[in-house]
Amino acid sequence: MRRTLPILVLLLVVTAIPCHGVVSLPEVWARVQVSLESGDGEGLERGVKDLMTTASELGVRRLTPYAMALVQWARAHPGKRGDLAVRLAGKLDPDLPAPHFLMAAASWNGGSPVTGARQFVSGWIAVLRDWSSRRLLLRSLWPWLLLGLVGAVVVGALFQTIRFLPELVHDAWELGQLLFRRADAAVFAVVIVALPVFAGLGLIWLAAWLFVLIWAYLDRRQRVVAGLLWVVAFLLVPVSQLWVDSGLGAAPIPARATAMLAEERADLSTLQGFADLEEQLGTSAIYHLVLGKLFLLHGDCLDARLHFQKALLADSADPRPLVFLGNIAFTEGNISEAIQLYSSAIQRDPRCVLAYYNLSYAFDRSYRFQEADSMRIKARELAGREYTRLRSEGRELKIVDPQVGRDDIERLESEVSPEQWRVAGLARRELPDVVGLVLAPTPLVFLVTGLLGLVGVILRKRWMWTASSCTRCGNVFCPRCKTAVESDAYCSQCISVFLKRDMVAIEQQSAKLDQIRRWERWTGLGRRVVSILAPGSGAILLGRWGKGIGEAFLVSFLGAGALVWLPRFMAELEPSISIVPLQVTFLGLAGLVWLRAIVTSWVRR
Ligand SMILES: [Zn+2]
Ligand SMILES: [Zn+2]
C-alpha cells in the first residue's frame, strides 16, 4: 500500500506542468505529502486548503486523483491520522463515494451511529452523483434483478405445471384412447407429454413444453399471469446479452471524457486515454479543444495552450480556443496578451459573450475602466438573461471558461469518419441485432413453445375438451369419462355420494369419505412441505398465483442482493467497507417473506 502512493504522486507531477501565475497543483500536493509522512495534521489541513484554492482558480471542482491518493494512504494508516486524511479526501472530491463510507464506518465505530447513518446516506448520494460509480451501480443492477426474476419464473412455471399435470396426463390418455387401442393409449400419452425428450431436446425444452401445455386449463386471470411469466422467461437471455454487449467493457474514452467535463473533475487515466487518440483524431479542431480543456482540469497550462493553438489552426470560426488562450494568459498575469487574444476572439465571432465578459476584467486589471464598462455592457446585451449565470460561474479570478462538453464530443464523433473512429479503437453506438438475439438457442425455446402453446389453446378451445379435477376429492375427470351431470365441480363418484345420497349404500359413502380425508391429508402435507422448500410454491398450489410468484421473486431478489450483488458491487466501490449489516438486513427480510409464506401455507387448509 505504502509503495503505491509515491508512484501515483510521481504520475501527478509528470503529467502536470504548472501555469506560471498560480501555484501548481502538484507543487501543493508535494507539501501535502510531506505533512502526511511527518504526521503534521495542521500542515496537512493547510495543504489541502491550498490545493482547493488552486483548483478553484483553475476551474476544477473535483480533485479525484488526490482524494483517492489520500483514501489509499488512510487505508494503510488506520486511526486518527487516517480518519483525518479521509475527511480531507472528502473535501477534495465531495462526490467521491469512498470517503463518505469510510467516515460513516469511523463514526459508527466511534460511538455516533446517527452521524454514521447520515454519512452512509451521503455516500449513496455520492454514488448516484458520480458518473463512474453510478455506471457501476446501473451495470450491477441487471444481474441482481436477473437472479430475482429467474427465481420467480422457475418457481412460478414449475408449480403451475405441477398443479395441472394430472389433468394434462388424463387428457393425453383420453385422446390416445380415442385414436388408438387401449394399450397404445398409454404410450401415446407418454409421447405427447414428454415430446421434447423423444425429439432429443433438453430439459429446458421439456419444462417450457409442459408449461405451455397447461395453458389450456387456466382461467382468464391465470392466463394473464402465465403470459407475463412466459414473456419474462423469453426476454431474460436477450436482455442479458444486450447488457453484456453494452455494459461490461471499460467505459469508452469519449463517454469518460464527457463525464469528466460535466463533473469538472481531474481524472488522469481518461486524460491519458484521450491524449493517446491524437494520432487518429488530431486533424479535428474539436478534438484539440476538448483535450486542451482536459489538460486545464489537471492544471497543466502548457499542454492546454499547445492544444488550444492546434484547435485555432484547425478551425477558423470557433472563438473558444482564443478565449481559453486568453484565460490562460490572464491566469499567468500576462494581461496585455490576454486583451489581444480576447480581441481576436471578438474579431472571429462578434457575438462571443465570453470574449467581451473576460475582456472587461482584463481591462479592469490594466486600469482601463471605461473600456471595461463598455465591454461589460456589451456582454450583458448579448447574454441577456444568461448574464447572471455568468457572474455566478466566475471563479476566483472572475473570468469564465467557454463551455466544452457533451455536444462537442458528439460533434467530434459525427465529424470524424467512421473508419478513423474505428482505427482509434472507438466503437460507434450501434443498433443491436434483434433478430440474432431472439433466435439464440434459449429464447428460441420459449418462442417456439410459446407459439405452439398459443395454437394449442386455440385448437383445444374449438375442438377438444379439457379435463378438470373434482373440488371435493381431487379425482380428475373430463366430459368423455364423466357419467353424472348434476355438478360441474364434482366427479361422478362425489355426485352420487354427496348429491344423490339416498341411492348409495352407507359403506360406500364412508369409504368415499375416508378416501377424501386421505386425499386432503396427503395433498395438504405435500403442499406444506413444498412451501418450506420453495418460497411461494404453497400459494401457487393453492391457486393464488400472483402472491406466490411475488413471494418467490422477493426471496430470490433479496437473497441475491445479500449474497451476490452486495459483495461484488461494494468490493469495487470501496473494498474496506463492511457489508455484513446490509447483508444481514437483506437476508432477514428475505427470511421474513419466506417465513410468512410458509406460515400462511400451513394455516390454510
Ligand atoms: Zn370427487
Ligand atoms: Zn376423462
Give the pLDDT confidence score for residue 343 in this predicted structure.
92
Element (H, E) at 324: helix 320-331
Give the pLDDT confidence score for residue 308 in this predicted structure.
93
Give the pLDDT confidence score for residue 179 in this predicted structure.
84
Give the pLDDT confidence score for residue 209 in this predicted structure.
93
Query: How many Å apart are CA 575 and CA 320, to the nearest integer?
Result: 42
| C-alpha 441 – ligand 1 centre gap (Å) | 43
| C-alpha 494 – ligand 1 centre gap (Å) | 4
- pLDDT tens digits for 569-579? 888 887 777 78
Q: Nearest bound ligand to CA 469? A: 1
| C-alpha 170 – ligand 2 centre gap (Å) | 6
* pLDDT-above-70 percentage for the chain: 93
| C-alpha 476 – ligand 1 centre gap (Å) | 8
Find all residues with CB under 8 Å of 585, minimum gap 6, and list them. Answer: none
Query: How many Å apart are CA 285 and CA 173, to the nearest integer?
Result: 77
Tell me how many helices (H) and strands (E) the chain has. Answer: 32, 2
- pLDDT tens digits for 313-367? 888 788 999 999 999 898 888 899 999 999 999 998 888 888 999 999 999 988 9
| C-alpha 172 – ligand 2 centre gap (Å) | 9
Give the pLDDT confidence score for residue 397 in this predicted structure.
66
Q: Nearest bound ligand to CA 467? A: 2
Give the pLDDT confidence score for residue 13 in this predicted structure.
43
Q: Nearest bound ligand to CA 482? A: 2
400 within 8 A of 357, measured Cβ to Cβ: yes
Q: Nearest bound ligand to CA 477? A: 2
Give the pLDDT confidence score for residue 152 in this predicted structure.
94
Q: Nearest bound ligand to CA 185? A: 2
Of the listed ranges 152-161, 175-184, 209-218, 517-526, the one predicted with least confidence = 175-184
Confidence of residue 502 (pLDDT cuts 50, 70, 90): low
- pLDDT tens digits for 447-478? 999 999 999 889 888 888 888 888 888 888 88
In the three-class reduction of DSSP (H, G, I as helix; E, B as strand; rest coil), residue 361 is classed as helix
Multiple choice CATH, 253-423, 1.20.960.40, 3.30.40.10, 3.30.720.110, 1.25.40.10: 1.25.40.10
Give the pLDDT confidence score for residue 326 in this predicted structure.
93
7, three cell numbers: 508512484
Query: How many Å apart are CA 453 and CA 588, to the nearest integer?
Result: 39
Going through 342-497 in order, the beta strands assigned E by DSSP cover: 468-469, 476-477
| C-alpha 335 – ligand 2 centre gap (Å) | 99
DSSP string, 292-344: HHHHHTTT-HHHHHHHHHHHHHH-SS--HHHHHHHHHHHHTT-HHHHHHHHHH
Q: Nearest bound ligand to CA 473? A: 1
Give the pLDDT confidence score for residue 17 in this predicted structure.
45
| C-alpha 192 – ligand 2 centre gap (Å) | 16
Give the pLDDT confidence score for residue 19 in this predicted structure.
55
Phi-psi region of 433 (alpha: psi -120 to 50; beta: other; left: phi over 0): beta
604, three cell numbers: 390454510
C-alpha closest to that of 215 among 559, 371, 449: 449
Q: Nearest bound ligand to CA 512? A: 1
Long-range contacts of 588-593 (CB under 8 A, 24+ apart): 589/554, 589/558, 590/554, 590/555, 590/558, 590/559, 590/562, 593/535, 593/551, 593/554, 593/555, 593/558
**HEC letters along 531-576:** HHHCCCHHHHHCCCHHHHHHHHHHHHHHHHHHHHHHHHHHHHHCCC
Give the pLDDT confidence score for residue 215 in this predicted structure.
92
In the three-class reduction of DSSP (H, G, I as helix; E, B as strand; rest coil), residue 433 is classed as coil
Check residues 33 and 307 and name the one with the higher pLDDT.
Answer: 307
| C-alpha 541 – ligand 1 centre gap (Å) | 18
Mean pLDDT for 285-289 is: 92
Q: Nearest bound ligand to CA 169? A: 2
Residue type, 397: L
Give the pLDDT confidence score for residue 150 in this predicted structure.
94
| φ/ψ (deg, to 5) at 477 | -145, 165
In the three-class reduction of DSSP (H, G, I as helix; E, B as strand; rest coil), residue 471 is classed as coil
Q: Nearest bound ligand to CA 174? A: 2
| C-alpha 326 – ligand 2 centre gap (Å) | 91
Span(s) in the chain for CATH 1.25.40.10? 253-423
**Fold classification of 4-135 (topology level):** 1.25.40
Residue type, 532: I
- pLDDT surpassing 70 at residue 250: no
| C-alpha 472 – ligand 1 centre gap (Å) | 5
| C-alpha 383 – ligand 2 centre gap (Å) | 84
| φ/ψ (deg, to 5) at 534 | -130, 120
| C-alpha 496 – ligand 1 centre gap (Å) | 9
Of the listed ranges 242-246, 286-290, 486-490, 554-558, the one predicted with least confidence = 242-246
| C-alpha 115 – ligand 1 centre gap (Å) | 65
| C-alpha 467 – ligand 1 centre gap (Å) | 13
- pLDDT tens digits for 24-61? 777 788 888 888 888 788 888 888 898 888 888 777 88
- pLDDT tens digits for 393-421? 665 667 888 888 889 988 888 888 777 77
Give the pLDDT confidence score for residue 14 in this predicted structure.
39
Chain-centre distance for alpha carbon 118: 24
424, three cell numbers: 482509434
Mean pLDDT of the chain: 85
**HEC letters along 40-87:** CHHHHHHHHHHHHHHHHHHCCCECHHHHHHHHHHHHHCCCHHHHHHHH
| C-alpha 495 – ligand 1 centre gap (Å) | 7
400 within 8 A of 394, measured Cβ to Cβ: yes
| C-alpha 544 – ligand 1 centre gap (Å) | 22
- pLDDT tens digits for 72-120? 888 888 888 888 899 999 999 989 998 998 888 888 888 888 998 899 8
Residue type, 187: V
352 within 8 A of 326, measured Cβ to Cβ: no
| C-alpha 481 – ligand 2 centre gap (Å) | 4
Chain-centre distance for alpha carbon 395: 35
C-alpha closest to that of 142 among 228, 227, 236, 256: 236
Q: Nearest bound ligand to CA 497? A: 1
Mean pLDDT for 585-589 is: 95
pTM for the full predicted model: 0.76
- pLDDT surpassing 60 at residue 489: yes
| C-alpha 469 – ligand 1 centre gap (Å) | 8
| C-alpha 174 – ligand 2 centre gap (Å) | 6
Query: How many Å apart are CA 362 and CA 372, to the nearest integer?
Result: 8
Give the pLDDT confidence score for residue 22 in this predicted structure.
55
Mean pLDDT for 222-247 is: 87
248 within 8 A of 395, measured Cβ to Cβ: no
| C-alpha 466 – ligand 2 centre gap (Å) | 9
For 293, how many CA atoms within 13 A lie in the half-sphere containing its CB?
28
CA distances to 152, 173, 425, 511, 524 from 537, rounded to whole Å, are 10, 27, 50, 31, 13
